[in-house]
Structure 1
């Protein structure tokens, strides 16, 4: 299997999907089951059914056992080409297969696959020749959930059974271990537990940042701002909603309207009392920041001496998503993008993008993340002249070749933005998952659409080039990834609260407040528990939030002006001078270290 692993995986998984469909039909009775589709996916496959009752967890083992029984029969798999009329006769009574057959283009080749003599499925294949080829495969039911036929909520609701499938028991075990670890890291579990963020049904896919989470959000934002100040970026703030004329000029109205929140005018008729909605939409919430950055650029005529002009913005943007696609902080409808739009001349492109890549490298390394670059080229739904696209793609290839060498990056044909090609930065977290985060998009088209100009050295007016750029992609998604990457155990500098203070008894509160004041003065995020609870309960409360340091204040500390520190991970630092502990905290905050300092030299 090693030579063509992906091919064999797809063949084996797709074949096992047929085996699962056959098993379900034997369990529930062929006359009681409607089969739909069963494709392979990254870690196995799924199959959609209409069943006489909902699938329960206790059904999983029965399905797995029946599949093993079927495989031990060592049945032949036979492929036949049939006419539409023959196919409809074979699948008579199977409504979903009948619909698929009737929707096939005229003249389309139709093939069916028999597994043994008593199960047949409509399929292009390929498949195994005999079930014995699958005997050594390892598989396990993952879950069962509802699904709509053909993904349309107006159609029948079916039951989808997901199954893991791998060539060996060892590979399945390794994958299940990975899944278990990923579930323990799930930001949708850790975030609410640590009171970082929440969602409410009144605003689907629009996160609320809770006080603890917003402290972490701001720590990351401040890091981002400090770095961009060093590179000469200017931060702006623009409107959340704009008139549709702006989006028509930018091309979003024609290419992205279905993903935009449109603002309609609703009013109540005074005579009838009925609500009316004007269908002529005038405004839309912004899904992108670029047209507003262009408006800022157009606020005055710029000289070549001012370029490059870098306008960064972290204002909220909104994008409509299907409800089934929303996923915690990873897929939301309201988020804050770490945007920049840079206006420059063509001869500045290489140096500017090289600087952007350096910024990205520094940011990702600060969080302990590695990344790879990918070039995305002209999509089918592109805007502008092909020659401009060719020029832009050539410029990006030159930059990537110089930085990574030819072949040192991936090319993703046809996945560029509609207005220009882009470099996507894909990073891996600590358990090997890949995430598409940063993007650098070269754009010759929008400056043309908006008739942007700058005064060149010879006094003439020329069109600038525009770079769209984000490193995090969005703060929400990036923080979701960080929550999972660090498993809720954050580095000191980005922890919501960095120090928790526990006075043992009420008489220690006065000195504890002195410690708190010293830390706050040094801009360390600190919280203290002055309640009447006992020491162990207070410590347990701070440990729940995985706080880096818990300072214990008792008689000795109050008398000597010291602190005893419970270091996250159950190490202790006792009898530290207060000023030394403050300096230790400041050092970590300033250096943004990933590891906690657990001693004072």
Structure 2
């Protein structure tokens, strides 16, 4: 199975490998690095397939060198490190049976059948042994197995590997990593001095030349995992690790993890009293507390305002429906696994809705439509329910009860290209208004899977319309073959947060299938009846998930326009509280959310408490301020501005909030200090 070469790898000029010469030899003669972050670890042949440096082509072949610091290079480092982990496990725990050990995003894992779960002390011992193996510079050596029978004989003590040999061409990527779709191969680890085989594993490869080419790694944690992801199969023990092209890259990644932990929306949500997940309600079902409710309301209100300005019409639909509706839409059976079980009532099966689109189609179909009404843009904050498995549920970012900011645009084929361009621009601009502005796009298309419905020609037309709109945006477009919805292709907006993590945000889908299934029509200008095209669009994805993403993006320090408490007045002494109460009244008249802390705590403790609560504006007043009719500002970063007249302070706070500034105010950017 070919793997595409990244843009990083493409920055290295191609090299010709003469027939019978190894790729490694050709790279050395070309003067390409063999050490460091830019070391060439594998090459990509003319078909894009990655090859070991020991590969020697039968004919002269142009290859693309793949450096360690490219995505593919890191993947090879991580897969090689997974093999070293497996070797260490079987050396320290000889009874361990091997599962699979693929590279994953930012790391790797390996599954083992062992008598007991791994402990933190086990991981420390394994990491120590892995470092010894890496230092010994064992050579990874690829060996083709002549037949399935020979492979089974050699792997007789490894039941899970025998199962993979029987599967051989299974479509699961991690399993293909083990056996591939062609010949069976085993990678032997050879002693660098004697050349004797130390250990080996069934694997397609490729791998690094030696274990010493693994510059930096660490084991992260262990967890239970079912063999091949099926709960009916045995439960194995999975060890996760990460590996990088340099110690510096590993340190940067570990610091990113530490920062991500500090920003974890679940932790911040509890600290700031925003939301919770009561056990009495059920897993994946959030309740928003008053402060969280304010943030959610502000998110929704601004979205409503922008949608109204863009010509959307608001609708509402129920939370439950007869099963027939979802059979018509095709969600049953295609989507049944992610829907809650039906409830029987009055002789009918009713389902909690997992999507809003079928009900919007019924609104469209409720009366005759004319071409003059198109494009018709329907919008709803519609709550839906999806049965996410317990291991997948994660705070607000993966819930079972979610509110979609769902839109369905009904338009003619002729209107579709322009509508897609304006729709994508609307989505990107609105996300930027919330403080997310670093995007790329992902185009999800169909493959040969039987799950996709409809005429392939219509799919092609829909795909090309999306591609054209994406290209017009000027953003990077990344292909996602096979990732489309069952009824149509989609564009996903991928946004980077403040620490560089990517989150899937908005989706835009083109749908020719639902208009046919629901018999949607409009009367054209010539009097004929035609079917509209449906464009599905979710801006936030879900309010809950967007809330969680923004919480982590801002580390809980929400912009002032979103902050549940925008201003806290802090009197220097008790007698100044009445003065600040008047200031608060003036701020409330401007629509500002303000409190005055008249508690018995000392002023410094009050400042510390409200800074911890990430309030954007702390307004202080003492005797001199009262005499001057002024206040002083204290900001989240500790900076301060003193002696600002009250009228000016109120006006500037109101203006900052009204402009929806996403930066935290401070002594430099808040203009009263100018």
Contact map agreement 2:490 2:510 (CA 8 A) in 1: yes
Distance change (3 Å), C-alpha of 1:102 and 1:393? closer
Given the alignment of the two structures, is residue 90 of structure 1 paired with residue 158 of structure 2, yes or no? no
CA distance in 2 between partners of 1:554 and 1:300 (Å): 66
Distance change (3 Å), C-alpha of 1:395 and 1:568? same
Distance change (3 Å), C-alpha of 1:98 and 1:388? closer
Superposition pairs for residues 345-494 of structure 1, below 5 Å? 345-366=412-433, 367-379=435-447, 380=449, 381-404=451-474, 409-494=477-562
CA distance in 2 between partners of 1:348 and 1:85 (Å): 60
After superposing the two structures, state which structure 1 stretch, 376-385 or 248-257, moved more. Answer: 376-385
Given the alignment of the two structures, is residue 193 of structure 1 paired with residue 271 of structure 2, yes or no? yes
Given the alignment of the two structures, is residue 127 of structure 1 paired with residue 207 of structure 2, yes or no? yes
Q: 2:670 — aligned with what?
A: 598
1:86 Cα deviation from its structure 2 partner: 4.2
Distance change (3 Å), C-alpha of 1:364 and 1:108? closer
Contact map agreement 1:420 1:441 (CA 8 A) in 2: yes
Q: What are the Cα deviations for residues 30-52 of structure 1, in whole angstroms up to 9, with x where unaligned?
A: 1x322222111222311122334
Q: 1:59 — aligned with what?
A: 122
Superposition pairs for residues 446-595 of structure 1, below 5 Å? 446-595=514-663
Q: CA RMSD in A?
A: 2.6
Q: What are the Cα deviations for residues 317-351 of structure 1, in whole angstroms up to 9, with x where unaligned?
A: 11111111112222111111111111122222222
Q: 2:66 — aligned with what?
A: 4
Superposition pairs for residues 67-146 of structure 1, below 5 Å? 67-78=130-141, 79-81=143-145, 83-104=147-168, 109-116=183-190, 117-132=197-212, 134=213, 137-146=215-224
Given the alignment of the two structures, is residue 37 of structure 1 paired with residue 37 of structure 2, yes or no? no
Give the counterpart of 2:227 among 135, 145, 149: 149
CA distance in 1 between partners of 2:498 and 2:601 (Å): 38
CA distance in 2 between partners of 1:397 and 1:99 (Å): 41
Give the counterpart of 1:222 among 301, 304, 321: 301
1:224 Cα deviation from its structure 2 partner: 0.7
CA distance in 2 between partners of 1:88 and 1:550 (Å): 71
1:204 Cα deviation from its structure 2 partner: 1.0
CA distance in 1 between partners of 2:166 and 2:310 (Å): 60
Q: What are the Cα deviations for residues 254-292 of structure 1, in whole angstroms up to 9, with x where unaligned?
A: 2111111133249xxxxxxxxxxx9x8611111111111
Contact map agreement 1:424 1:440 (CA 8 A) in 2: yes
CA distance in 2 between partners of 1:551 and 1:27 (Å): 62
Q: 2:57 — aligned with what?
A: none
Q: What TM-score comes out, normalization by structure 1 length?
A: 0.90
1:104 Cα deviation from its structure 2 partner: 4.8
Q: What are the Cα deviations for residues 456-494 of structure 1, in whole angstroms up to 9, with x where unaligned?
A: 223333222211112221122222221222222222111
SS in 2 for 1:490: coil
**Greater relative CO (CA pairs within 8 A, separation 6+):** 1
Q: 1:21 — aligned with what?
A: 86
Contact map agreement 1:329 1:476 (CA 8 A) in 2: yes
CA distance in 2 between partners of 1:94 and 1:374 (Å): 40
CA distance in 1 between partners of 2:457 and 2:83 (Å): 48
SS in 2 for 1:546: coil
After superposing the two structures, state which structure 1 stretch, 347-356 or 51-60, moved more. Answer: 51-60
Q: 1:303 — aligned with what?
A: 370
CA distance in 1 between partners of 2:166 and 2:238 (Å): 23
Distance change (3 Å), C-alpha of 1:34 and 1:395? closer
Given the alignment of the two structures, is residue 287 of structure 1 paired with residue 362 of structure 2, yes or no? no
Ranges in structure 2 where 5+ consecutive residues have no aligned partner? 1-38, 41-64, 171-180, 191-196
CA distance in 1 between partners of 2:205 and 2:78 (Å): 11
Given the alignment of the two structures, is residue 172 of structure 1 paired with residue 250 of structure 2, yes or no? yes
1:231 Cα deviation from its structure 2 partner: 0.8
CA distance in 1 between partners of 2:608 and 2:596 (Å): 13
Contact map agreement 1:424 1:438 (CA 8 A) in 2: yes
